[in-house]
Structure 1
Amino acid sequence: MKRIQLPKKLLSALCAAALLVGAMPGALAAESTQQVSIQQQSIATNAGVFTYIDAQGGLWSWGDSLTGGVGNGTTSSTTGTPEKILDNVVFVSSGLNNNGAAIQSDGSLWVWGDTSLDMDYANQAWAPVRLEGVKVLLPDGTVSQPTEEPERTELRHSGSTTLEKLSKEEIVQLLNQASSTLPNPVLTEEPSIHAPYATGAVDHQALEAAAQRLNVLRRLAGVPQVQLDDSLSENAQYGAVLLAHLGSLNHTPSKPSDMDNSFYQKAYEATSTSNIAAGMDLLESVDMFMQDSDASNVARVGHRRWQLNPELGRVGFGYAQNLDSIYRDFVTEKVTDTSGSGCDYDFIGWPASGNFPNYLDSFDANTAWSVVLNPDDYQVPTQSGLVVTLVRQSDGKTWTLDGKDSYTPAASGRYLNVETSGVGNCIIFRPDGVTKYEGVYQVTIDGLKDRSGKAVDFTYQVDFFSQPDNASKPSDWAAASVQEAIQLGVVPFELQTGYTQTATRQEICALVVRFYETVTGSPVQGRVSFSDTKDEDVEKAAYLGIVNGVGDGSFHPNDPLTREQAAVMLTRLAQSMSKHLPAAEANFTDRAEISPWALEATGAIQGCGVMNGVGGGRFAPSLSYSREQCITTLMRLYHYISK
């Protein structure tokens, strides 16, 4: 549906009509924060048009549509089958002039058909359009205010506004530098989990490794770092011993009969103010607390929210074992401190906006997403007023989670909840049917309002990437060019691996677009779309004229790249940068095998020394082209046009 601004004369008349509608018995309206749910005017007929509202609020229409009176977007003479033209409708009325009006549950007024004042058919709306600024008068004297649509803004970013977003390379380096192992043994002094109780001692390196792991995850989320505090760890150790004694988890455990009161009070203080875990070591527990998506925790993701609290400044860890328990390991994490400096932020997201690794133990296909809003910037959200939409950009797959629907907490599947207790006002959601997150996902949350009550446009993106294959190295002949290209910044992170494998049509687009934008310093603004891919690099390369489709509006992004295709794309890349390669004849023994559309480019690219043959005087136009060949010839082109 579209929104229009009508002429003042017509708008005034329609406002008057809306007031008359509101004065009719059973007319409904509501303040913007109230949803109208009663359907007292659910059927309307007039001038050959029939409309009715179904039980779900869908408005159906059929009949004479000569001037758009049916509202289905056409002006055919008749529409014999009912068609849905609007959702969330609570009131409908048909006019004598082959037109109609409807009120939605948010109090907004929509009209269609001939909306002219003198029946001269000068103003026609073939589908429902929303009237701006119209209020509906209720019989009790109250007036509805249609829900304001938010002003569209740029993509939002999670985390501190003063922390730079990390590149994929920086994230990989951050994760690789963090300790992934604990000292052996973890305990330098064995605790006693039976009377007489004793805390024992955890190797300080193990405690530091746990704090480092937490700081790595906090850096990914864009919140300030925390400090390991020995006094908090000392208290946490009491709690770990008590949990190990019980062999189970309990934030408020009862006092064992053989435990002295002093030990118990310290242990109770720890368990009641800590994240607690069983069945995993210190490092694993930090990731598990961030995962937080099992049936008993997904409604709150409270452990995660404590770990990502911007005001958290000091942490402590405790660890003990009970070899007779099925869980064996017990961990306490003191995370309720608020001595940190905090930060200015719009929201705290997990996964965070921007680049995000898809190989973390703390985030997998069944992990719930969370958005913690800055309470200084947003009103407290209500679940019934929210709609969360996720779009996977690679194929356009869309998930819509409506807050008015019901959701059952579970370890997987569709889910939506709003949790306002504890740390921050949190929106928790999860799509279904995802096996692994790859590429860009866009999240839009409708229904949020700022502190003044104004509707907010809230959209952000997460770009998931896989762990690089460190064993993959370019061939010796290509190593220098690949390294130079990476340093120049023209090789996307995803292509810094698997150098010998065949490149795809999409991958060459990623390379040439990065090359163009890096060398020229100008981002590509335009796009040309295809029916079988929404990849941004493909659309940019097509806009630059570097690539074309294969017919029927498709591109075949995953098809292997051939040598003659590479020759054409490299030549067009130079042209897009106003660097025209000199014409030359393709001098190969298999010249007749080169496609006519690639013959000129092959000659030019050979003439300037960017691409050569495969031996024996042959070009082998249909042979596949590898990633390292793409990168190497790209750098040859770079040096040629830089002369």
Structure 2
Amino acid sequence: MLSNAFGYTKAQAAETTNVQELVSSRTSADILAKWKQYQPMSTASNYMDGDYIYDNKPSFSPGSYQAGKLKEIYVEDAIRATNFVRYLAGLPDDVTADWSLSDQEQMASILNAMNGGLSHYPPQPAQMSDSLFKLGYKGASSSNLSAGRPTLYSTVLFGYMSDRSASNIDRVGHRRWILNPPMKKTMFGMALLPESRYGSYSAMYAFNKDRNPNDVQYDYVSWPSAGYFPNEVFAVDDPWSIGLQPNRYDANRTSDIQVTLKRERDGRVWNLDKSSTDKEGDYFNVDTGGYGIPLTIIFRPKGIESFASNDAFQVTVTGVYTKDGQPTTISYKTTFFDMVPAISTVTQLIKLNVGESFTIPIQFEHSKDEKQQLTYTSTNPNILSIDQQGVVTALREGEGTIQISGFFNSYADVRFSVSTSNGTDRPSAWALEDYTFAKSKGLVSLEYDERYQSAMDRYGFAQAAVGLIEQLQGTPIPTKESPFTDTKSEVAIKAYYSGIMKGNALSQFTPTMSITRQEAAVLLMNIYNKLNKSAASAISGPAKTLFKDDAAIASWAKASVYQAAQLELLKGNDEGTFLPKGQLTREQTFAMLAKLYKLISE
């Protein structure tokens, strides 16, 4: 393995690659690991600022044109994209940069920038020397070309590999050049010209065939591939393509070819053949042009609104003939999956005091991998500062938002309200650590993040408890019709149907009513028993020591009080009394839920 100064690695392919064996044997975890190896430099959509992407800036001035030179890190970014899509297709992912073509690809990009459009055969701009024009013309006529995309990485993944426009769908030529088995080297150019029609113009050398054809064995190369395939790199309106091994299949007998696509979850079927000619809908074509693998079947079904995670499609191709005239069928299954989990936060509105720091709690949908790369941005940097570990600091009074972005347009926002502390409204010293933990888990909502020694009401307890349950069980609590006559609150409904809190005899939730300490013990054990199936064994046996006011504890609460005490979720006072009818305070609520969170998590 080779690595550069930035820690990225270049994969070395085996001497011989068998496409069908590779795609059928790998798992979604294998693809995720490869993605982490080949992911782009940044989660941001535009990180290729003209002031930073060049070692030497190009010149667009008539009479003094210069090719310039991209920094190695930006070219390697595009190389990673190239190798990632080749890996997905089952091809060797060891393509490297051919720096001898740097000037050629730069001039191809500059030619198109100066002409304000894309052409493989561009005219010569005024006052451009013949030598530079010929160099750029050679590059333009042997490269994939693109305009308007912010990065080379996105150009490869979502420009060339998509090829869904009406002018490209009939041949998907950009895609086929990238998935050409013999490719072993390529090179990129980029011309950023903000005042031009598209702003950015790029080129990718396409004609390399340095690899020995015998090093890649395949019956077909498909996009999306057979086996597992990530949702993030294939849109529902992208065309599917299957490049057939030219040494095996007859490129002259294609009129009978048709494709049947069947979605497994609902049995829906699409039949596509030469009568499917709608470039905006159902489409089918067989192209035998000279783009990478010459014999390629292209099809796109209409009416797929989205790919669900683990959405499987059976692809069946009939009407194909081998070189010796035998009819044959090609069949495989593609299973889409969510490669990069969606970002979410456990809370969307947080209160901070000036000078207070807070680490934003992040969750990744369907994933426990906490090593996802994220970018944090403050929309009000004079009010909130943020570092790239997610630690936000309140600088002055006001409101602001922290935007969190991940790959593939995954994002979340957290709003903050910043005020100046009066110096007295703060959690007690004994509760501070647990309060901070509860806040980091989103259990302290904005309206209850004050007056910490005041009574906690039933709505506030339910809100924090529901958040704790949903986080620890990893799924939302389902909602139904409200059983209460005094509230339609989703929080109250979830607390009821999860078995945590009930209403009174009049079917009222009484959201503003305070909670006693013995009631809190019952509620705590309801949560504990719901989340911990081994609760009985964990808290079995009589209490070793009775509270001095044991007689004052209601019979319906006594078992829960001693169970909660045994688990160290609730304590008595220094005199050994429990005070069962004392009001539960906000800071006591946060402290005991923090302890319960830690206990269940461990």
Give 3-state SS (helix, strand or coil) of 2:145's partner. Answer: strand
Match of 1:298 in 2: 169
CA distance in 2, matches of 1:445, 1:608: 58
Residue from 435, 453, 474 that aligns with 1:500 = 474
Match of 2:307 in 1: 437
CA deviations on 1:184-215 (whole Å, 9 max, x unpaired) are 51123221123211011211110011111110
Match of 1:399 in 2: 270
Match of 1:235 in 2: 104
CA distance in 1, matches of 2:141, 2:58: 20
CA distance in 2, matches of 1:454, 1:386: 13
CA deviations on 1:523-560 (whole Å, 9 max, x unpaired) are xxxxxxxxxxxxxxxxxxxxxxxxxxxxxxxxxxxxxx
CA deviations on 1:427-472 (whole Å, 9 max, x unpaired) are 0001001111221011101111222222212111110012324668
Residue from 72, 96, 99 that aligns with 1:204 = 72
Bigger shift: 415-424 or 335-344? 335-344
Match of 2:136 in 1: 267
Assess, with a 3 A threshold, how the Cα gap between structure 1 residues 180 and 607 changes in structure 2: closer, same or farther: closer
Match of 1:340 in 2: 211
Give 3-state SS (helix, strand or coil) of 2:334's partner. Answer: strand
TM-score (ref. length: structure 2): 0.52
Residues 381 and 418 in structure 1, CA contact (< 8 A), matched pair in contact too: no
Assess, with a 3 A threshold, how the Cα gap between structure 1 residues 254 and 470 changes in structure 2: closer, same or farther: closer
Residue from 23, 32, 36 that aligns with 1:172 = 32
Q: Give the deviation of 1:230 after TM superposition.
A: 0.4
Which AA in structure 2 matches 1:450? Answer: T
Give 3-state SS (helix, strand or coil) of 2:108's partner. Answer: helix
Structure 1 residues 4-19: aligned runs within 5 Å: none
Q: Give the deviation of 1:166 after TM superposition.
A: 2.9
Match of 1:353 in 2: 226
Structure 1 residues 373-522: aligned runs within 5 Å: 373-380=244-251, 382-403=253-274, 405-408=275-278, 410=279, 412-422=280-290, 423-424=292-293, 425-438=295-308, 439-466=311-338, 467-469=340-342, 499-501=473-475
Assess, with a 3 A threshold, how the Cα gap between structure 1 residues 398 and 234 changes in structure 2: closer, same or farther: same
CA distance in 2, matches of 1:160, 1:462: 12
Is there any run of 5+ residues in structure 1 with no aligned partner, and where?
1-156, 474-481, 484-496, 505-561, 564-604, 619-632, 634-643
Identical columns (%): 31
Residue from 19, 27, 47 that aligns with 1:159 = 19
Which AA in structure 1 matches 2:148? Answer: G
Give 3-state SS (helix, strand or coil) of 1:245's partner. Answer: helix
Q: Please say if 1:258 is aligned against 2:131.
A: no
TM-score (ref. length: structure 1): 0.49
CA distance in 2, matches of 1:471, 1:328: 33
Give 3-state SS (helix, strand or coil) of 1:333's partner. Answer: strand
CA distance in 2, matches of 1:379, 1:171: 33
Structure 1 residues 541-560: aligned runs within 5 Å: none
Which AA in structure 2 matches 1:372? Answer: G
Q: Give the deviation of 1:218 after TM superposition.
A: 0.7
CA distance in 2, matches of 1:262, 1:204: 25
Give 3-state SS (helix, strand or coil) of 1:214's partner. Answer: helix
Assess, with a 3 A threshold, how the Cα gap between structure 1 residues 259 and 398 changes in structure 2: closer, same or farther: same
Structure 1 residues 182-201: aligned runs within 5 Å: 182=47, 184=49, 185-193=52-60, 194-201=62-69
CA deviations on 1:238-259 (whole Å, 9 max, x unpaired) are 1111111111111001222411
Assess, with a 3 A threshold, how the Cα gap between structure 1 residues 498 and 255 changes in structure 2: closer, same or farther: farther
Q: Please say if 1:372 is aligned against 2:277.
A: no
Q: Give the deviation of 1:174 after TM superposition.
A: 2.3
Residue from 79, 88, 95 that aligns with 1:220 = 88
CA distance in 2, matches of 1:470, 1:278: 30
Residues 158 and 221 in structure 1, CA contact (< 8 A), matched pair in contact too: no
Q: Give the deviation of 1:172 after TM superposition.
A: 2.1
Q: Give the deviation of 1:607 after TM superposition.
A: 13
Residues 349 and 371 in structure 1, CA contact (< 8 A), matched pair in contact too: yes
Residues 177 and 206 in structure 2, CA contact (< 8 A), matched pair in contact too: yes
Q: Give the deviation of 1:357 after TM superposition.
A: 0.8
Q: Give the deviation of 1:608 after TM superposition.
A: 12
Residues 312 and 333 in structure 2, CA contact (< 8 A), matched pair in contact too: yes
Residues 158 and 347 in structure 1, CA contact (< 8 A), matched pair in contact too: no
Q: Give the deviation of 1:313 after TM superposition.
A: 0.8
Which AA in structure 1 matches 2:256? Answer: G
Which AA in structure 1 matches 2:30? Answer: E
Which AA in structure 2 matches 1:179? Answer: P
Give 3-state SS (helix, strand or coil) of 2:174's partner. Answer: helix
Residues 238 and 263 in structure 1, CA contact (< 8 A), matched pair in contact too: yes
Residues 68 and 103 in structure 2, CA contact (< 8 A), matched pair in contact too: no
CA distance in 2, matches of 1:370, 1:616: 68
Structure 1 residues 278-289: aligned runs within 5 Å: 278-280=147-149, 281-287=151-157, 288-289=159-160
Assess, with a 3 A threshold, how the Cα gap between structure 1 residues 309 and 606 changes in structure 2: closer, same or farther: same
- Number of matched pairs: 346
Give 3-state SS (helix, strand or coil) of 1:277's partner. Answer: strand
CA distance in 2, matches of 1:160, 1:306: 19
Assess, with a 3 A threshold, how the Cα gap between structure 1 residues 380 and 260 changes in structure 2: closer, same or farther: same
CA deviations on 1:594-636 (whole Å, 9 max, x unpaired) are xxxxxxxxxxx999989x9xx9999xxxxxxxxxxxxxx9xxx
CA distance in 1, matches of 2:104, 2:55: 17
Which AA in structure 2 matches 1:200? Answer: G
Which AA in structure 2 matches 1:346? Answer: D
Give 3-state SS (helix, strand or coil) of 1:416's partner. Answer: strand
CA distance in 1, matches of 2:225, 2:161: 12
Assess, with a 3 A threshold, how the Cα gap between structure 1 residues 158 and 388 changes in structure 2: closer, same or farther: farther
Give 3-state SS (helix, strand or coil) of 2:286's partner. Answer: strand
CA distance in 1, matches of 2:55, 2:342: 37
CA distance in 2, matches of 1:295, 1:232: 30
Match of 2:196 in 1: 325
